[in-house]
Structure 1
Amino acid sequence: MTEKITEPVIDSNDTASIGPDPSLLIVDDDGPFLRRLARAMETRGFVVEIAESVAEGIARAKTKPPKHAVIDLRLGDGSGLDVIEAIRARRDDTRIIMLTGYGNIATAVNAVKLGAIDYLAKPADADEIFSALVQKSGERAELPENPMSADRVRWEHIQRVYEMCERNVSETARRLNMHRRTLQRILAKRAPK
């Protein structure tokens, strides 16, 4: 059975909020998610280019820096932060959204320092991503319905100390007064809800 492909339905409100340059680069190593998100963004009026690695993302950013970008933090060949740097080196008005399944405050701060305008935890849906991309400067994001759990706050603290220790597990474990193996298990898991 072949998949039926239909022409995207573009809402004029969506294209008006995108602006005159609809270029969008999506960098993610999760192929099915990448293609679904690309299709969803095309239906909203973006002209989408995709990349499945840091190297491919940097190459696309060098040849044609986009006005909008959605970049996964952890990719198979490195960090999405490198793609942000490559985009910022060529274009300073790009609206960049950082996506990650391993969200923590320290990497969010790094992403914002490098030029990301927002940071969304996976699984983020196309509507959330679209809203973040077209949000006007100075607009406040809606408050989350569910605040962070105590487990998440603990995990965030551990991640912050880990980043401060330059990702040195032994030093982080010493500062947190925690066994090294326990820390390694915590770091290997996804963020709690």
Structure 2
Amino acid sequence: MKLLLVEDDVPYAQTLMRRLEKHGLTVQHVTTIDEMLTAVDSCSFDYFLLDMKLDKANSVNFIATIKQHHPCSKVVLLTGYASIATAVEAIKLGADDYLTKPASTSLILQTLLGEKTDNLEAEIMSPERLEWEHIQQVLKANDGNISQTARQLNMHRRTLQRKLQKKPAYK
């Protein structure tokens, strides 16, 4: 079972690689889109674990390319900037699943290997998280236009920019 890990946070990737290798996966790690595309062309992988934001690039844009080269492989997007809008977009482009950071090694393995268990507790979103999700949906509907989104949300543009710079609350 061979996995391509696309993650620009090297210490996190090294820790995750060690943990996944203990469970029998052979992991190749790359940090950029160019390295990922080279690996996709040259090697065969069973699984792809993609960090969504890589420097200034977005790996969501390359899911279709991965699926074209490896149609039977499982693609999982892993991100610290999760939103319903990006999750829907990733799934539409061919991702098999979508996880938010921090994700436990067991959850990542369960997702990759398709061994979902019933002991995973459903998370209830906080009001702050719901607000962030709503902002992301409106922003996506406005094609990333901050001013238009602020007007629709009846919010000052700078206030919206500050909210967008914060990581979402998970609980």
Q: Which bracket does the TM-score occupy, shorter chain normalised?
A: over 0.9
Q: Which residue of 1 aligns with 2:7?
A: 28
Work out which of the two has the higher radius of gyration on C-alpha atoms and give 1 or 2.
1
Deviation at 1:146, TM superposition (A): 3.2
Amino acid at match of 2:71: D
| Residue pair 1:100, 1:122 contacting (<8 A) in 2 also | yes
Amino acid at match of 2:42: T
- Identity of aligned pairs, percent? 38
Amino acid at match of 1:189: K
Q: Does 1:172 pair with 2:149?
A: yes
Q: How does 1:148-167 map to 2 (within 5 A)?
A: 148-167=125-144
Q: How does 1:46-65 map to 2 (within 5 A)?
A: 46-65=25-44
Q: How does 1:1-193 map to 2 (within 5 A)?
A: 22-135=1-114, 144-193=121-170
Secondary structure of 1:147's aligned partner: coil
| Residue pair 1:173, 1:180 contacting (<8 A) in 2 also | yes
1:31 to 1:89, Cα distance in 2 relative to 1, 3 A: same
Q: Distance in 1 between matches of 2:138 and 2:118?
A: 27
| Residue pair 1:62, 1:86 contacting (<8 A) in 2 also | no
Deviation at 1:133, TM superposition (A): 0.4
Deviation at 1:53, TM superposition (A): 1.4
| Residue pair 1:112, 1:118 contacting (<8 A) in 2 also | yes
The unaligned stretches of length 5 or more in structure 2 are none
Secondary structure of 1:93's aligned partner: coil
Deviation at 1:85, TM superposition (A): 2.4
Secondary structure of 2:29's aligned partner: strand
* TM-score (norm. length: structure 2): 0.92
Secondary structure of 1:116's aligned partner: coil
Secondary structure of 1:81's aligned partner: helix
Number of matched pairs = 170
| Residue pair 1:65, 1:87 contacting (<8 A) in 2 also | no
Secondary structure of 2:96's aligned partner: strand
Deviation at 1:191, TM superposition (A): 0.8
Deviation at 1:128, TM superposition (A): 0.9
The unaligned stretches of length 5 or more in structure 1 are 1-21
Q: Distance in 2 between matches of 1:62 and 1:168?
A: 35
1:140 to 1:118, Cα distance in 2 relative to 1, 3 A: farther
Deviation at 1:83, TM superposition (A): 3.4
